Amino acid sequence: MGARIAAHFANAGVLVLLLDIAVPTQSESNADRSLAAKKGLDGALKGRPPAFFLPSSAALIQTGNFENDLPGLTACDWIIEAVAENLEIKRALFAKVLKHRKPGTMLSTNTSGIRLSDIAANFDAETRQHFFGTHFFNPPRYLHLVELIPGPDTRLELLANVSDFCDRRLGKGVVPCKDTPNFIANRIGSFFGSTVQMLTVDQDLSIEEVDALTGPLIGFPKSASYRLLDIVGLDVWANVTNNLYEAVPQDPWRGRFVMQPFLQEMLERKWFGDKTGGGCYKRVGKDREIHALDRKTMEYHPAAKPKFPEIETARQIEDLKDRLRAIVAAGGRAGTFLWQALSDLLIYSASMVPEISDRIVEIDRAMRWGYANTLGPFELWDTLGFLETVRRIETQGRRLPPSIERMCAAGATSFYQAADTAGNPRTKYFDLKEGSRYCDLEPRPGILRLSDLKRARAVLRKNPGATLVDLGDGVLCVEFHSKMNSIGEDLINMIHDGIRETSRSAAAMVIANQGENFSVGANLMLVLLTAQEQEWDDLDAAVRRFQQINMAIKYAPNPVVAAPFGMTLGGGCEVAMHAARVQASAELYMGLVEVGVGLIPAGGGCKELLLRHQDPQKAFEQIGYAKTSGSATEARQMGFLRDGDEISMNPERLIGDAKSLALSLVANYAPGSPRQDIKIRGESAYSLLKLGVWTAHKGGYISDYDAVIGEKLAHVLSGGRLIGEQTVSEQYLLDLEREAFLSLCGQPETQARIQHMLKTGKPLRN
């Protein structure tokens, strides 16, 4: 964990000293006592998912050990302890650390369950003022949450500064916590996980059945429940829950924090999960087939795909809130299991106010940011219907927490209420601690939620796939919300309307959304159907419209900023590449991946990459091998981001940062005009690229049809095989892209690739 925290600080450009235990050696002459830290760093470099934005960032980390290198702490501004969850081990290490800590240096522990007051018991007054807890969730690069816990005497201004640093520099969602066992997220998360494990046995469900019910179906991550155990490590889970059991003797639900017998047996067999090659699941054979554990026989079998007839209709409901309401009302094995698990979660979360948090807000944020749940417990309760859920619990003869009874007596009907004023989004939350009133939820400057803006002020325009939203201060936003945010006519039309409206009544425009990913590319189903019907004129017109809108973005009369994040592929990548500037999320997986479906980029992607690299070979390698960035930092190296494009570490700040960037361009913005001076290398470049295709094909690196696509791509990037170096226009290259795209659409191999991608989500090599 320490190495991965160090890696994320390095991602933020911070110099790090990573220390670990001193490795005993037989001979001092060839000793490397810092081997443990070096192995930790190597694990962070080689691990999956990657801990670093770029492997080169590891150069910012210096390794050492606790015996020889503690004097290096005098140069540090912040010391973070992340050793084993053992009070005596932590106290012994801090005793050594404090001998080298200079006054004023911040000191924090990454403990998840030990009280800070116990750790700091022997600290002097000055150290106690600078001591606090920072509980990073693992893996630190990907999970948004940092729990910030004050020590017994921590200075408030120090906590404010740390919170701001974690937010803006490290990109974290910071939740202030009390110094209680397991703080917020792991207290609630451990309860839910233990409840699911209990119900697995009580209601006789299989490992696969539970994971099918506790993942994306209910707005939880794909790792669901038992796959999550394998990722975290059953030994780690056992340590957390056992410590929690000992630490909360007064908790009425304490009995939940007892390991189920089948998990205890797995512990004894050291089936911890991924780290030991098997746990609830394991990979088997050369094909790495997934097998699941039968908890009754303790034997593995090929993982099944469970089906629950009672919720099959509900499963098809796209809107999560509607789907959740349908599922818990469904009955049957699935509905009964989920109602019991979720209602227990709601009751327990309410009973934890004010013990672990004075407000429901922090509990919801901790569960969304730390466990990647779409809804926190109180948001979930509102979704299911506050009063309906209360009545159902009471009808079953179950006891509600006193705070909920007081809430009902006060006439409240939800935990959250919209309280928008003068077009500005505002929210109220019910004060469950006090029990009789709603309180204003403080605004978070710089953080814009499109759903809140659309609720607070009327949208300017809307169609089924996109909306034009007023971000305020003279900036409009084209938000697209098609299925998987694919590129289609709705978005093209809205961008056109947005550019026109911006030129009339605003200063700048942002293209953004807050879905799961920015865009997976073009609407492949529409492309396939049009090609199969041989409606070539329609397909040609559609590609032309997409090219034209991208050129309209590039040469708009007002600055247009794109805000890509997550998967930004194919057409989504092309939209972003044509913007005046890009404000990218640090987690950006951007690429021109059309060859995977038997095509080449046709919305200006080939043209733009050729302009940026000024080398057809580099552009060819990137497009031909469908290379995708692993981060925004890598996207800059690959040419998808340019000088002047910016990166937001905190995804919640992405649209606010994009708005600020757009406004910064307004004063000196001068729209250009389509270029007529692009130098291409013609026949010589084509021959060189074609030779590379032939070599890769003969070497078995690409298929027969890959070679066909490669030659089409070479034709475009060389400028159409003109003789000698010549100068062409952007439109000339766009025409080449479109012609190659259309010709490939007519090939059965391309249509087979598209069909396979639509069916399986994976590329076909034919």
Q: Does an H or E element contain 647, and which?
A: strand 646-648
Question: Mind spelling out the 3-state secondary structure of 535-566?
Answer: CHHHHHHHHHHHHHHHHHHHCCCCCEEECCCE
List Cβ neighbours of 172 (8 Å cut-off, separation of 6 or more): 136, 144, 145, 146, 166, 650
Q: How many CB atoms lie within 10 A of CB 155?
A: 16
Ramachandran angles phi, psi of 131, nearest 5°:
-105, 135
Whether the Cβ atoms of residue 293 and residue 316 lie closer than 8 Å to each other: no
Residues 525 and 650 in one domain: yes
3-state SS assignment for residue 326: helix
Average pLDDT of span 422-433: 95
- Cis link prior to 354 (omega < 30° from 0)? yes
The DSSP result for 67-117, as a single string, is: TTSGGGGGG-SEEEE---S-HHHHHHHHHHHTTTPPTT-EEEE--SSS-HH
List Cβ neighbours of 18 (8 Å cut-off, separation of 6 or more): 2, 3, 6, 37, 40, 41, 61, 62, 63, 64
**Is 504 part of any domain?**
yes
| Distances in whole angstroms, Cα of residue 664 to Cα of each of 9, 558, 646, 655, 659 | 28, 12, 12, 14, 9
Domain containing 496: what range? 450-593+628-666
Whether the Cβ atoms of residue 61 and residue 77 lie closer than 8 Å to each other: no
Domain count, the chain: 4
**Is 213 part of any domain?**
yes
Last-in-domain residue among 263, 278, 306: 306
Residues 212 and 124 in one domain: no
- Tell me, what's the pLDDT at 26? 63
Residues 634 and 579 in one domain: yes
Whether the Cβ atoms of residue 80 and residue 20 lie closer than 8 Å to each other: no
**Is 10 part of any domain?**
yes
Among residues of the chain, what percentage have pLDDT more than 70? 99
Q: List helix spans (H) across 233-331.
A: 234-247, 261-268, 312-315, 320-328
List Cβ neighbours of 197 (8 Å cut-off, separation of 6 or more): 225, 259, 260, 263
**Is 474 part of any domain?**
yes
Enter the tokens of residue 427.
């929210």
Whether the Cβ atoms of residue 453 and residue 470 lie closer than 8 Å to each other: yes
Among residues of the chain, what percentage have pLDDT more than 90? 92
Residues 89 and 192 in one domain: no
**Is 314 part of any domain?**
no
Whether the Cβ atoms of residue 6 and residue 22 lie closer than 8 Å to each other: no
- Tell me, what's the pLDDT at 28? 57
Residues 138 and 208 in one domain: no
- Tell me, what's the pLDDT at 576? 98
C-alpha dihedral sign at 756, 760, 765, 766: negative
**Is 413 part of any domain?**
no
Q: What is the CATH number of the domain that holds 154?
A: 3.40.50.720
Q: Is the pLDDT of residue 25 over 80?
A: no
User: What is the spatial distance between Cα 217 and Cα 104, in angstroms, rounded to a whole number?
Assistant: 48
Q: What is the CATH number of the domain that holds 289?
A: 1.10.1040.10
**Is 565 part of any domain?**
yes
- Cis link prior to 559 (omega < 30° from 0)? no
Ramachandran angles phi, psi of 461, nearest 5°:
-150, 155
Which of 565, 560, 627 shows the shortest CA–CA distance to 593?
Answer: 627
Last-in-domain residue among 287, 306, 325: 306
Q: Is the pLDDT of residue 27 over 70?
A: no
List Cβ neighbours of 332 (8 Å cut-off, separation of 6 or more): 308, 309, 310, 311
Residue 212 exposure: Cα atoms within 13 Å on the Cβ side: 18
Residues 150 and 224 in one domain: no
Average pLDDT of span 301-315: 93
Q: Model-level pTM?
A: 0.94
**Is 400 part of any domain?**
no
Enter the tokens of residue 679.
């130098």
**Any long-range contacts for 247-255 (C-beta under 8 Å, 24+ apart)?**
247/113, 247/181, 247/182, 248/181, 252/351, 253/191, 253/348, 253/351
Structure confidence by residue, pLDDT tens digits, 717-758: 999 978 888 999 999 999 999 999 999 999 999 999 999 999
Residues 114 and 140 in one domain: yes
Last-in-domain residue among 606, 636, 666: 666
Name the DSSP class of 377: H
| Distances in whole angstroms, Cα of residue 294 to Cα of each of 226, 260, 275, 298, 552 | 12, 14, 20, 5, 58
**pLDDT greater at residue 196 or residue 138:** 196
List Cβ neighbours of 426 (8 Å cut-off, separation of 6 or more): 418, 419, 420, 440, 441, 443, 456
Q: How many CB atoms lie within 10 A of CB 690?
A: 17
pLDDT category, 602, cuts 50, 70, 90?
very high
User: What is the spatial distance between Cα 117 and Cα 64, in angstroms, rounded to a whole number?
Assistant: 29
pLDDT category, 138, cuts 50, 70, 90?
confident
What are 463's strand-pairing partners? 466
- Tell me, what's the pLDDT at 24? 84
Residues 507 and 543 in one domain: yes
Residues 460 and 576 in one domain: yes
Which of 387, 363, 381 shows the shortest CA–CA distance to 321?
Answer: 381
Residues 119 and 229 in one domain: no
pLDDT category, 418, cuts 50, 70, 90?
very high
Residue whose token pair is 């640093």: 165
Q: What is the CATH number of the domain that holds 559?
A: 3.90.226.10
Q: How many CB atoms lie within 10 A of CB 46?
A: 10
Residues 659 and 695 in one domain: no
Name the DSSP class of 278: B
Residues 510 and 640 in one domain: yes
- Tell me, what's the pLDDT at 483? 87
